[in-house]
Chains A and B, each alone.
Chain A
Amino acid sequence: MTTLPLERPRARARAERRERVLLAPITVTPSKPLTPSHLKGLLWTDVMYRATRELADVTFRSSQTTYHPTEQTLGFWEFLDRTHGDREYAECSEEEIGELYVAFRAEGTRAPAEALRPYADAVEHGWVHPASRRVLGLWSGHYAGLGLHDPGLLAHQPPGLGLDETIAWLSALGLCVDLREVGGPVHLDTTRFGLPLRQIVTADGRPNYLACALRELMPLTADFDEVVLLYDRELGPDHQQLAHVLALLGPRVRRVPIGRVPIDGRVRSARHGGWQDNHAGALLASARAGYAEPVVRLGMRLYFIATLGPGQAQSFDPALVRQCLKRAERLLAAAADTDPSDDLAERLARHRKDHVYVDPYRLTSSLLGRRGPVPGHDLLSAVFL
């Protein structure tokens, strides 16, 4: 007589048919240091990616190439070349390049479309301005330090559709008003869902980030069961429209807005600067001075995910970061070796609702629970370290 193993119907059902999930976070423009708001989004997405990977086939798509054609990036590059000529960027710090970005935004003038065209064309062929290449190189170092999955910061990852093709796809779906023939702009049209017309290409042919997102995501989504859009809360209306468009192509689309991190009570755009002492490089350096790498990685996740939560009510607080690092040190010291029959996928699967992705906030907060079992090494190393 044989003994049947304990039934785990849920985990098994998942294992038989792994769902395909696309994580598509909004990218950060490579023109400045990573601020606490950026870090929060990156850590949030990383935990979601690594946890969901245990349960489903996950593709993490975050292409810098896709978003270079936006005006804020091309305009910055044109500004650098126009005002600083042959400056050498390979030795610049993120802060120095960030200061130049602040100067660019302060200039307030919009370069004519013709001035940006060579930059836009070069991007399509894999070119990146040395200043942004430098920033992306420095970010790669921060990603490595924080244990973040690198989705290809320095890789040329062009979107699957050109701008004209994207507009043709949208037109075929009745989702755009294309006035290019009469010299006008292109609007995304989700009015059938009661949402207002949204311009995606200006009359002189400049695409905005929503047009770039459509170029990338429209050809990708059909291959997935679930698409998760992660974005700054204030970009909610655009992502609502994007979600409607992608859902028409087949998958379930989930929107995960992430609140920004106020500094001294104010949510400020990076275009104004003000990242001194609290950008990723500085934070990492000060945490590493007192703690080992695994502690830093877990501590940052405890702070930016579990402590700050999805909203944006709490200002950045270095004292709380230190507390989280101490807490991480204790958690790692107490971490248990788990029974191999206590399936990690099943433990992760508890932290979701009707979606396939694992909710990073619920999962990370569960580490801080006073009751319940101590987190296992397997969970920590798979998701948090």
Chain B
Amino acid sequence: MSREESAAQERLREAAAARIRAARPELADAHDLTSAEGLIAVRARIAEEAAAPEHLAAVVVGRFDLASWARATCEFALGLGPEQAAAWRRSFTRTVFLAGNPDNLRERFSFAHFADDGSAAWTGPGPAADSAGLRRLLKLFDGPRPLPVRADTVVEVPPRAGRRPDRPPVHRELHIAASGCRVSDALVHLNHLLAEAVLDGLIRPGDTLTIRHVPRLTGLTDHFAALRVDTDPTLPGRLRAAAGLTEEALLVPHHRP
């Protein structure tokens, strides 16, 4: 491994460790998160817990529209109360993606949020039993096709009506590594990245995100405020960035007055 590669791996390990520390400080204390082995041990612990998840959100997806879904994901996370957000964070913002038409479910289930175009709906994070009925009725969202690489798309997180923003809106880029990434994987990666960025205050109402599809986030990891870290599918024992949210972009293309 070259010096640059080692530095990038180090940066990815730090990002992975920071995520664990934010969600479960006690797990972070019990393991050495500076080593790949420590991270793997924590992942195994978390995987064991996944069999009996504490808090999860369910997202019903009727039609896949990345921009609409990403905006709505931010809105959903921004709408969570502090206790709900904390409980969800402790479960690593666990989320189940279900195939379904939100419109057909409005009367039978209560949703915390709907995408503007009706393409997706979110249940508030809660114990798995809360969404058991919905999960029984629907099927897991199955999107095995590779994520299509599209031109950059600008997404605005709607400002909160009647409330002064607590900081000026910012513009960030949301990078997703499309190589080897199925649509289903992209949903998982971006969901964690966006939800946790909202809970960390990196994304606020009124902010702008430019979604950029790139084959791989090579050499860019320095400029990111948040990273979604995954194991590298082709290089055993290494990590890679599946998605990332940049530091504030210098140029804000359309600044909201």
Cα of A197 to Cα of B145 in the assembled complex, Å? 21
What mask results when residues 83 to 116 of chain B are scored 1 for a CB within 8 Å of chain A, else 0? 0000000000000000111011101100000000
Pairwise interchain contact A181-B64, C-beta atoms closer than 8 A: yes
- Known contacts A177-B62, A177-B101, A184-B144; decide if A191 and B183 are in contact (CB<8 Å): no
Given A174-B103, A196-B138, A197-B99, A183–B144 Cβ distance below 8 Å?
yes
A181–B103 alpha-carbon span in the complex (Å): 20
CB-nearest residue of chain B relative to A186? Answer: B99
A191, B64: Cβ atoms closer than 8 Å: no
Whether a CB of chain B sits under 8 angstroms from the CB of A189 is yes
Taking CB atoms and an 8 Å cut-off, the chain A residues in 171-203 that contact chain B are: 174, 177-179, 181-185, 187, 189, 191-192, 194-197, 199, 203
- Contact indicator A179/B142 (Cβ below 8 Å): yes
Distance in Å from the Cβ of B250 to the closest Cβ of chain A? 34
Q: A203 with B144: in contact, given A183-B183, A196-B137, A197-B139 (CB under 8 Å)?
A: yes
Residues of A95-117 at the interface with B, using a CB-CB cut-off of 8 Å, are none
Q: Is B3 an interface residue (CB 8 A)?
A: no
- Within the complex, the shortest CB–CB distance from B187 to chain A, in Å, comes to 10
Q: Which of A181, A192, A199 contacts B139 (CB 8 A)?
A: A199
Contact, CB under 8 Å: A197 / B64 = no
**Separation of A360 and B104 alpha carbons in the complex (Å):** 37
With A183-B144, A183-B183, A196-B138 known to touch, is A174 a contact of B99 (CB < 8 Å)? no
Given contacts A174-B104, A192-B107, A196-B136, contact A187 B143 (CB under 8 A): no
**Chain B residues with Cβ under 8 A from A182's Cβ?**
64, 142-145, 183-184
User: Is B141 a contact partner of A184 (Cβ separation < 8 A)?
Assistant: yes
Tell whether, in the assembled complex, residue B108 and residue A197 are in contact, meaning their CB atoms are under 8 Å apart.
no
Q: Interface majority SS on B: helix, strand, loop or mixed? A: loop
Q: Across the interface, which residues of B come within 8 angstroms of A189, CB to CB? A: 100-101, 104
Q: Given the known inter-chain contacts A196-B136, A196-B138, please indicate yes or no for A191 contacting B144, CB distance below 8 A.
A: no
B99: shortest Cβ distance to chain A, in Å?
A: 5
B42 nearest CB across to chain A (Å): 31
Taking A174-B103, A181-B64 as contacts, is the C-beta distance between A191 and B143 under 8 angstroms?
no
Could you say which residues of chain A place their CB within 8 Å of the CB of B99? 177, 179, 184, 187, 197
- Distance in angstroms from A116 CB to nearest chain B CB is 19
Q: Whole-angstrom distance from the CB of B102 to the nearest CB of chain A?
A: 10
Give chain B interface residues in 22-63, CB to chain A under 8 Å.
62-63
Q: Which residues of A contact B100 (CB under 8 A)?
A: 177, 189, 191, 197
A residues less than 8 Å from B63 (CB atoms): 178
Q: Which residue in chain A gives the minimum CB-CB distance to B182?
A: A183
Tally of contact residues, A, Cβ under 8 A: 19
Contact check, B101 vs A179: say whether CB atoms are below 8 A apart: no
Residues of A within 8 A of B (CB): 174, 177-179, 181-185, 187, 189, 191-192, 194-197, 199, 203
Minimum CB–CB distance from A191 to chain B (whole Å) comes to 5
Rounded to whole angstroms, the CA-CA distance of A194 and B144 in the bound complex is: 28
In the assembled complex, 5 residue pairs joining A and B whose CB atoms fall closer than 8 Å, in A order, are A174-B101, A182-B144, A183-B145, A196-B136, A203-B142
Which residues of chain B are near A191, meaning CB under 8 Å?
100-101, 104-105, 108, 137-138
Chain B residues with CB under 8 A of A184: 99, 141-145
Of residues 183 to 232 in B, which have CB atoms within 8 Å of A's CB atoms?
A: 183-184
Q: Look across to chain A and name the residue whose beta carbon is closest to the beta carbon of B99.
A: A177
- Which residues of chain A have C-beta atoms less than 8 A from B105's C-beta? 191-192
Residues of B within 8 A of A187 (CB): 99, 139
Asked if residues B137 and A197 are in contact (CB atoms below 8 Å), the reply is yes
Given the contacts A191-B100, A191-B104, A192-B104, A179 and B138 also touching, CB distance less than 8 Å: no
Least Cβ–Cβ distance between A185 and chain B, in angstroms: 6
CA distance A182 to B108 in the complex (A): 27
A181 to B138, CA, bound (A): 19
A203 to B138, CA, bound (A): 16
A177 CA to B64 CA in the complex, in Å?
Answer: 11
Chain B residue with Cβ nearest A195? B137
Most chain-A Cβ atoms within 10 A of its Cβ — which of B103, B105, B108, B139? B139
Report Cα–Cα, A195/B105, bound state, in Å: 11
Give the distance in Å from the alpha carbon of A367 to the alpha carbon of B196 in the complex: 74
Q: Which residue of A lies closest to B107 (CB)?
A: A192
How close is B119's CB to chain A, nearest CB, in angstroms?
11
Bits for B228-245, please: 1 = Cβ < 8 Å to A, else 0.
Answer: 000000000000000000
CB distance from A289 to the nearest CB of B (A): 53
Give min CB distance, A315 to chain B, whole Å: 35
- Which interface residue of A177, A187, A189 has the most chain B CB atoms within 10 A? A177
CB distance from B179 to the nearest CB of A (A): 16
On whether the beta carbons of A185 and B104 are closer than 8 Å, the reply is no
**Chain A residues closer than 8 Å to B139, beta-carbon distance:** 187, 197, 199
CB distance from B227 to the nearest CB of A (A): 25
Q: How far is the CB of B59 from chain A (nearest CB, A)?
A: 13
B228 to chain A, nearest CB (A): 20
Q: Count chain B CB atoms within 10 A of each CB in A191, A195, A199 and give the residue with the most.
A: A191
| CB-defined contacts of B107 to chain A, threshold 8 Å | 192
C-alpha spacing A178/B63, complex, angstroms: 8
Q: How far is the CA of A185 from the CA of B63 in the complex (A)?
A: 12
State A196–B108 Cα separation when bound (angstroms): 13
Q: How far is the CB of A241 from chain B (nearest CB, A)?
A: 12
Q: Which B145-180 residues sit within 8 Å CB-CB of chain A?
A: 145
CB <8 Å contact, B142 and A185: yes
- Residues of B contacting A195 in the complex (Cβ-Cβ under 8 angstroms): 137
